Amino acid sequence: MRYWLMKSEPEVFSIDDLKRKKVEPWSGVRNYTARNNLRAMKKGDRVLFYHSRIVPPRIVGEMEVVREAYPDRTSPGDDRWSQVDVKFLRKFPRQVTIEDVKMIRELSGMQLLKFSRLSVMPVTANEYKTILELVGA
DNA sequence: GCCAACGTTGGC
DNA sequence: GCCAACGTTGGC
């Protein structure tokens, strides 16, 4: 199983929206690196849900890939993009802010800090485990 | 809301 | 294929 992190602006789509909908296509990714990451996802992979463009930006919960990459047709006539379906798993009892990520040794190598504009990225098993421990999940 | 960073587009 | 212009993302 692999681990990932995906960003969304909560004003556009939040963890509570996903909780309500239970399963949702993760569409609208228009960056090749992010798309390639979507395409590498397998059913059962775990994904951290990150709220961006809020203060402070933070990891708020966890979801699971339930359908592997298939075409994203939200831009008509543009065949290049992919989406996956994700299922709500849980909202974390504690949230992990970007400041936490910077401060905690085990997390300071996360791609989140290195590639700030990437919206879909891999997370190592150790980083994922560390985050679960932090949130008490 | 600002703006730096950076990915993408398109003229040449 | 280069690179300037442009558009978008996301931390602050």
* A52 CB neighbour count, 10 Å cutoff: 17
* Model confidence pLDDT, tens digit, residues A10-29: 999 999 999 999 999 999 99
Nucleotides of B under 7 A from a protein CB: 1, 5-8
* Model confidence pLDDT, tens digit, residues A28-78: 999 999 999 999 999 999 999 999 999 999 999 999 999 999 999 888 778
Q: By the 8 A CB rule, do A61 and A49 touch?
A: yes
pLDDT score at A22: 98
CA of A78 to C1' of C8 (A): 18
* Model confidence pLDDT, tens digit, residues A105-134: 999 999 999 999 999 999 999 999 999 999
Q: Which residues touch strand B (CB under 7 A)?
A: A 30-33, 53, 115-118
